[in-house]
Structure 1
Amino acid sequence: MASHDIHAKGSNQTKKATASGWVGSALEYYDFFIYAQAAALIFPQLFFPSTDPKIAIVASLATYGVGYVARPIGAFVLGHLGDTRGRKNVLLMCMFLMGFATMAVGLLPTYHQVGMLAPALLVVLRLIQGFAVAGEISGASSMIMEHAPFGRRGYYASYTLQGVQAGQIFAAAIFLPLSYFMPEEAFNTWGWRIPFLLSAVVLIAGVIIRREVHETPAFSQAEAKGAVTRAPVKEAFQKNWQNMGLVTCMALMNVIPVVATVFGAAYAVQPAYGIGFEKSVYLWIPVVGNLVAVMVIPFVGNWSDKVGRRPMIIGGALGSGLLSFAYLYAISAHNVPLAFVMSLLMWGVVYQGYNAVFPSFYPELFQTRYRVSAMAISQNIGTMITALLPALFAAVAPPGSENVPLTVGSIALAVTAIAALAAFSAKETYRIPMEDLGKRDATPVEKRDYDAMRSEAAPQARI
């Protein structure tokens, strides 16, 4: 086969893997984040006792965090399958589990119908959601990164998170026409169920798309050589526990979307806080912020292929942490336009310095043999910690308290500072060839040849 035919075939596979990762992540995170929207906007009134609205808000946000508690468990199981059975197979399993759990939420009875059984069933389904989503980002990121040409891994892998942001757009956007056009009583009674039941369509579309993608060359070659490990989790902890710890700390950056979409929504909308944003108005904030993020992500991913992963993550972490103060202040000041602007800056632009880069940086820190397991476990432990923050925020800054922006913003900035320090401590990976990832730093020869290899490998393909 001629060299240009080999290159064309490889480029085609890269595009297919990237498109599959994008669409699959978008569809699966649509499922995950419609729950987040409902937990902030409607679940306190439906699934918890109405005698104390403050307790209902804290309890509803706590069920959001429960989904993240299950993620480390899912990471161990699904990461193991991804490293032993292949990236493609584990992604299909994630899709099935997520679709089932999300549709079931749409069929649940409320607290007024069955009492405490309602929140109990809600917690069980949220645990299944968390288990399923634990393998999504690590599997999709590894799949795209292992298909991508040298010098373009950051660009292509960033599409994983562009898909996640698109899923959040769909999750918020599906509530907009419902909350705007439906009478409040109808929306509270049955209208909120529609986004969850639409997951049937999500599931069918996602499975069809993901069945078309091929297994990655890195995993296929390891499988052909008999080099696939039977205990990837054990090997990950034995050989690369240091990087797993750093990834866990960097994953604490999930505090920014938590502040923007979960606590921010409750703070702005729930009557107990007294801000009084309309649900239909506030839902546009995450929609617009994610629209900006979708446009920014590929550019940031491409920059990380030129200047490195670490500078982008450090800047994104510290910048978005500082902007959290301004975002929460805008809500407290009842200033909808300012809240929009601060959301765009904090979440839509600056946060993408981290968000667009970690899908390439995390898997690059580990070897093929245990890549999915190591990334899934360490990342999901970090996100689990931050997912417990909405309930903490509501507890330390409950309705009626003063200085909510200062209290919550200070916690957010401290968390992002930890993430920035972890990125500073990690090895730079963007100049290391695939076969040497997770083993050592790039040699002087590899650094010297980097620009030449990058220009050969990447004729600026478009997705």
Structure 2
Amino acid sequence: MNTLTHTPLAGLAGARARPLNRDDYKTLSLSALGGTLEFYDFVVFVFFANVIGSLFFPPELPDWMRQLQTLGIFAAGYLARPIGGVLIAHFGDLLGRKRMFTLSIFLMAVPTLVIGLLPTYASIGIAAPILLLLMRVVQGAAIGGEMPGAWVFVAEHAPARHYGLAIGTLTSGITGGIFLGSLIGVWLNTHYSAEQIHDWAWRIPFLLGGVFGLVSVYLRRYLHETPVFQDLSARKQADRELPLRTVVREHRAASVLVALMTWVLSTAVVVVVLFTPSHLQKLFHIPAALAMETNAVATVTLTLGCVFWGWFSDRAGTRTAMVLGWGGMAVTAYLFYGSLPGTPAGLVARYALVGFFVGAISLLPVVGVRAFPPEVRFTGLSFAYNTAYAVFGGLTPMLVAVWQNVDALAPAHYVAAMGLLGALIGFWPLACRGWQPTRSSSTP
């Protein structure tokens, strides 16, 4: 077994070789539940974008203009991620992981609840889309802090032998928010007519998300601060210079590493999970119901894959997991997109298979958390991840949409290229062993 991939994680509370205990399971379950609800709150907007567009913009606008403005408000959430992520992470490194971990879900739950209660354009005019935009910006800031915060919080609690499994399980909970949003959308369209949804039922998913999010805020009060931050506070090392300044000056390599892995992650999620249903319908005339059914199955295998690849990294090492996981994503992307449209059963099976390998996205936090020292870990991960996601997550749909007009295999080419990049990153020593303290460092 490659010893490089099993070097002790400097500064992580999980460096103790012990089994998972009751407190670990409580931390993991409450963190994953909160991540599921928070990500659901963030993505449920897109499932009802058409209804929202018709209600929050002037009725005299052309349909394409309303759709464009609605998607622009959705995109505003992504643009706010870097700012919110860095701010929340900054105070997470200075004041404590738990406080910011709880704040992030509160900042998501309240705007979601407000969206469910907002008056429409018919009631308050131009104030309606402005308030909607404001709520999306706050949601974007919250999600920017939630994901890196959750990864750091769980990683600093988990024992070393189950480090990857803990992060993979947490990531599966976060991706499960997409599946939950899809299920709510299917349920709503099954039980209510189009007129009922337009008139009032569209509010239900937002009200549910807001209420359950506030419940999760309450439950997180039972979590404990991470041992790593407690140790930093005792040593009075948390009160140093601006964490972001330290990251930019001393940890550029780690930032580049996380940014490149975020490119891989954003491609996998945006193209395979979010973009593909419309790709199936537009180019191959696959019925919408079948496209959404196969997408739901792939989301389930993605969720399971997050757990598996995190667990596999504990057993076989980070390098092996990255090569097999993201290398497998490259191969199965061609297997899936190259066989379209195929039979319905084959479509479901191949989409499920590529979804499983997309689950290797859980390797990003496995690598990213330990790439930074404890004093700036939250800030470093959040800065690199959210900045890269804002860039690549925004450009990828446009690039693939244009590319597929000249090559039906464009999604396969792009996903496969990113899979190969992820596999190659596995040979970067920093990705395998993480940050290492110098002899003069007093970091725990």
**TM bin (shorter chain):** 0.7 to 0.9
Q: TM-score, normalised by structure 2?
A: 0.83
Contact 2:85–2:386, Cα closer than 8 Å, also in 1: yes
Q: CA deviation at 1:60?
A: 4.3
Q: Tell me the residue number matched to 2:274.
A: 262
Cα pair distance change 1:191/1:327, threshold 3 Å: farther
Q: Tell me the residue number matched to 2:254.
A: 243
Q: CA deviation at 1:241?
A: 1.3
Q: Does 1:94 align with 2:104?
A: yes
Deviations 1:346-371 (A, max 9, x none): 22x11112x22222221111111111
Q: Tell me which amino acid in the other structure corresponds to 1:105.
A: I
Cα pair distance change 1:299/1:261, threshold 3 Å: closer
The partner residue of 2:437 within 436, 439, 451 is 439
Q: Tell me the residue number matched to 2:92.
A: 82
Q: How does 1:57-76 map to 2 (within 5 A)?
A: 59-76=69-86
The partner residue of 1:343 within 351, 355, 359 is 351
The partner residue of 1:157 within 152, 167, 172 is 167
- Counting aligned pairs with the same residue, the percent is 25
- Tell me, which stretches of 5 or more residues in structure 2 are unaligned? 1-15, 440-444
Cα pair distance change 1:339/1:190, threshold 3 Å: farther
Q: How far apart, in 2, do the equivalents of 1:180 and 1:257 lie?
A: 27
Contact 1:65–1:390, Cα closer than 8 Å, also in 2: no
Q: CA deviation at 1:410?
A: 3.3
Q: How far apart, in 1, do the equivalents of 2:60 and 2:411 lie?
A: 26
Q: Does 1:365 align with 2:371?
A: yes
Contact 2:179–2:299, Cα closer than 8 Å, also in 1: yes
Contact 1:173–1:283, Cα closer than 8 Å, also in 2: no
Q: CA deviation at 1:318?
A: 4.1
Q: Tell me the residue number matched to 1:26.
A: 36
Contact 1:233–1:374, Cα closer than 8 Å, also in 2: yes
Cα pair distance change 1:407/1:266, threshold 3 Å: same
Contact 2:82–2:144, Cα closer than 8 Å, also in 1: yes
Contact 1:96–1:203, Cα closer than 8 Å, also in 2: yes
Q: Tell me the residue number matched to 1:320.
A: 329
Q: CA deviation at 1:229?
A: 3.5
Q: Does 1:195 align with 2:205?
A: yes
Q: Tell me which amino acid in the other structure corresponds to 1:346.
A: V
Q: How far apart, in 1, do the equivalents of 2:276 and 2:370 lie?
A: 33
Contact 1:324–1:412, Cα closer than 8 Å, also in 2: yes
Q: How far apart, in 1, do the equivalents of 2:251 and 2:381 lie?
A: 11
Q: CA deviation at 1:314?
A: 3.9
Cα pair distance change 1:43/1:311, threshold 3 Å: farther
Q: Tell me the residue number matched to 2:409.
A: 406
Deviations 1:308-341 (A, max 9, x none): 22332344334334544555567x7386544433
Contact 1:255–1:416, Cα closer than 8 Å, also in 2: no
Contact 1:322–1:413, Cα closer than 8 Å, also in 2: yes
Root-mean-square deviation (Å): 3.3
Q: CA deviation at 1:198?
A: 0.8
User: After the TM superposition, which of the residue ranges 384-393 and 153-162 deviates more from structure 2?
Assistant: 384-393
Instruction: State the SS of the aligned residue for 2:222.
Output: coil
Q: CA deviation at 1:16?
A: 2.3
Instruction: State the SS of the aligned residue for 2:160.
Output: coil
The partner residue of 2:298 within 267, 272, 289 is 289
Q: CA deviation at 1:302?
A: 1.8
Deviations 1:400-426 (A, max 9, x none): x84563334434444444444444335
Q: CA deviation at 1:97?
A: 0.7
Q: TM-score, normalised by structure 1?
A: 0.80
Number of residue pairs the alignment of both structures matches: 421
User: After the TM superposition, which of the residue ranges 244-253 and 146-155 deviates more from structure 2?
Assistant: 146-155
Q: How far apart, in 1, do the equivalents of 2:215 and 2:82 lie?
A: 27
- Tell me, which stretches of 5 or more residues in structure 1 are unaligned? 1-5, 442-463
Cα pair distance change 1:43/1:241, threshold 3 Å: same
Deviations 1:150-186 (A, max 9, x none): 2321111222102112222211111111112322222
Q: How far apart, in 1, do the equivalents of 2:427 and 2:17 lie?
A: 35
The partner residue of 2:218 within 195, 204, 208 is 208
Instruction: State the SS of the aligned residue for 2:236.
Output: coil
Q: Tell me the residue number matched to 1:310.
A: 319
Q: Does 1:374 align with 2:380?
A: yes
Cα pair distance change 1:351/1:394, threshold 3 Å: closer
Q: Tell me the residue number matched to 2:9.
A: none
Deviations 1:273-330 (A, max 9, x none): 793633x554433432232233333332121012222332344334334544555567
Q: Tell me the residue number matched to 2:402.
A: 396
Contact 1:318–1:417, Cα closer than 8 Å, also in 2: yes
Contact 1:172–1:284, Cα closer than 8 Å, also in 2: no
Q: Does 1:298 align with 2:307?
A: yes
